[in-house]
Amino acid sequence: VLQSSNSLKASYEDWLLSYGLSVSPFHMRWQTALFNRQFYNWGRWKPKFLYLWFSIGMVFGIVAMFGSVILLGKTLMQTLTQMLTEAPKAQNDRMLQVVVSILSSSLCLRAGNLMGCVPGVNLPVSQLTYFFSAILISGVIHEVGHGVAAIREQVRFNGFGIFIFIVYPGAFVDLFTTHLQLISPIQQLRIFCAGVWHNFVLGVASFMVLFLLPAILFPFYYTGVGALVTEVAEDSPANGPRGLFVGDLVTNIQDCPIYSVEDWNSCLGDISEKSQVGYCVSAATLQQLSFPARVYRRLDGTVECCSNNSLTDICFSYSNNLDSNLYACLPARKVIEASKVCRTNMDCQKDFVPSFCVTPSLENQTRLIRVKHPPHIDMLFVGHPMHLQYTVSLSSFVPRQNFLSIDLPVVIETFCKYLISLSGALAVINAVPCFALDGQWILNSFLEATLSSLIVEKQNRELVGFVILLAGSALLAANVALGFWMVTAR
């Protein structure tokens, strides 16, 4: 609107130019020379160390270029196999989603290549701060690598900038193209590989922080004692007067001990995969608690023997070694409390007291789960174990003092995971020999450095590079298109 106005166009463009701003549909960027002195200081710091540093980065970038092609090739074959298979394996499906996540995360970082990252749709709104912060930091570190390497190789540095494409932030550096073209292919490789290399280093550093976090926070938080509840969703089945509360320390799920969040997830996974466990109840107690009830079968074949209106009673099945299956409607808490977990009646034979292993008769995939969080009374959960996993947030870190935040370790953990994912995504995708990515310039410089003696004509070398870039671009596009189709279709 402003550019279409004859009276405002000139002043508007002058204002943008004075502040280093550039605005176009869905895209805005800011460039400045304020940081040039700092970049030059970095580029001239310990020349021998920087030479070694970026030489290692060059080797890494070349290996990553070939490795990314192999990864995308395997992923494409795996995706096509799953498309032609009616019942794909769960393990392969998880691998596919990981690769597609890396692809979509990285493409979000490239202006003009926005695919797959939709805040509030496939990205939780609560995670937006982590997501955008990790994108910006990963992009800045990537471009700092290019800028410092360029100054180290005597290429003029014009400026540094930040852009926003729709809602996705990123960074860029402005280098003098003529200088860049005059240096040797090996020097160019050090510059072009520096971004990928710095993203890899950032991912490794974030992983080390994540791995060493218990030791780093040891003076303030201790671990290995349970999983601390940090949030319970309002619509969670665990929400209620006898449910879980923020600050509770979960120590057991059924007979599975909990020492960390990983144990919590692992135990819930085992519970969902295995059949429902039973509980040892003496014959006298069983006779005392049970009462006559009508037995009927549900549509899925399971048996119900309690009133649908009951909030405390559950239908249990057991065997007395005479009849194959007997059913009794019992008060769940009285049966479970102080009871031993069992699979068969043989697990309950102790002190010559006649006992039975009674098992909740529930619908498919539904489980009765006992969660211990002392000193509170045990929580009894009836439902799918994954509902409990998705609606309850926990932390492995327990504050040593009451004034310490229970959320700080979670924030650090989550941010490190986003940095690992997004910085790793930039490293993987930018290494692909594809048009408009770093891999294009890495490939061209690599061919100039290795094929100049074999293919004398520069045009022929450029033709070889064009064919490889075309294949790499097609490979990346096919992975993204088929990967997104598979994930969204499921």
Q: Which residue has the higher pLDDT, 438 or 299?
A: 438
Instruction: Give the model's confidence band at 49: pLDDT under 50 very low, under 70 low, under 90 confident, else very high.
Output: very high
Are 192 and 57 in contact by the 8 Å Cβ rule? The answer is no
pLDDT (tens digit per residue) in 112-136: 333 344 455 456 777 889 999 999 9
- pLDDT score for 308: 67
Tell me the whole-structure pTM to 2 decimals.
0.83
**What one-letter code names the amino acid at 230?**
T
pLDDT (tens digit per residue) in 392-418: 999 999 999 999 999 999 999 999 999
Going by C-beta distance under 8 Å and a sequence separation of 6 or more, which residues neighbour residue 14?
Answer: none
pLDDT exceeding 70 applies to what percent of the chain?
Answer: 89
Task: Mean pLDDT check: name the lowest of 52-56, 175-179, 480-484.
Answer: 480-484
CA separation for the pair 430, 443 (Å, rounded): 11
Q: At what angle do helices 408-430 and 185-216 cross, to 10 degrees?
A: 160
Look at residues 472, 451, 474 and name the one whose alpha carbon lies nearest to residue 185: 451
Instruction: Give the model's confidence band at 78: pLDDT under 50 very low, under 70 low, under 90 confident, else very high.
Output: confident
- pLDDT score for 19: 92
Count how many Cα atoms sit within 13 Å of the Cα of residue 437 in the half-sphere of its side chain. Answer: 29
Of 230-234, 338-342, 438-442, which one has max mean pLDDT? 438-442
Instruction: Give the model's confidence band at 482: pLDDT under 50 very low, under 70 low, under 90 confident, else very high.
Output: confident
Task: Count helices and strands (H / E) in the chain.
Answer: 14, 20
What is the mean predicted confidence (pLDDT) over 100-104?
A: 47
Instruction: Give the model's confidence band at 5: pLDDT under 50 very low, under 70 low, under 90 confident, else very high.
Output: confident
- pLDDT score for 101: 47
Are 178 and 69 in contact by the 8 Å Cβ rule? The answer is no
Are 432 and 68 in contact by the 8 Å Cβ rule? The answer is yes
Q: Count other C-beta atoms under 10 Å from residue 271's C-beta.
A: 22
Query: Which phi and psi angles does 57 have, rounded to 5°?
Result: -60, -35
Taking CA atoms, 247 is separated from 231, 254, 317, 385, 465, in Å, by: 9, 20, 36, 21, 59
CA separation for the pair 458, 471 (Å, rounded): 20
Mean pLDDT of the chain: 87
Question: Residue 355 pLDDT > 60, yes or no?
Answer: yes
pLDDT (tens digit per residue) in 200-228: 999 999 999 999 999 999 999 999 999 99
Task: Mean pLDDT check: name the lowest of 170-179, 218-227, 282-291, 356-365.
Answer: 282-291
Which residues are known catalytic residues?
A: 143
- pLDDT score for 358: 92
Instruction: Give the model's confidence band at 490: pLDDT under 50 very low, under 70 low, under 90 confident, else very high.
Output: low
Q: Which residue has the higher pLDDT, 293 or 214?
A: 214
* Residue 416, token pair as written in the block: 């490190």
Instruction: Give the model's confidence band at 91: pLDDT under 50 very low, under 70 low, under 90 confident, else very high.
Output: very low
What is the mean predicted confidence (pLDDT) over 256-264?
A: 95
Complete DSSP assignment for 274-327? SPPPEEEEEHHHHHHH-B----EE-TTS-EE-S-TT-SSEEEEEE--SSSS-EE
Instruction: Give the model's confidence band at 95: pLDDT under 50 very low, under 70 low, under 90 confident, else very high.
Output: very low
